[in-house]
Amino acid sequence: MVAPLLTIIFRRNQPFTWCFVFVVACRFLLRH
């Protein structure tokens, strides 16, 4: 369900997607 939505967002607004990925990566790294 989430994948198609992220795909649409990625196609329409790539900068936002990269920022989202960056934040998720930071949270993942901070957890470990």
pLDDT in tens, 7-18: 777 778 777 778
**Angle ∠(6,21,16) on CA atoms, nearest 5:** 65
In this prediction the pTM is 0.47
pLDDT reported for residue 17:
76
Query: What are the sequence ranges of the domains in the chain?
Result: 2-31
- Per-residue confidence (pLDDT) for residue 5, from 0 to 100: 77
* Higher local confidence (pLDDT), 9 or 25: 25
Q: Which residue has the higher pLDDT, 29 or 10?
A: 29
The pLDDT score that the predictor gives to residue 27 is: 93
Which residues fall within 8 angstroms of residue 10, CB to CB, at 6 or more apart? 17
| pLDDT confidence of residue 1 | 57
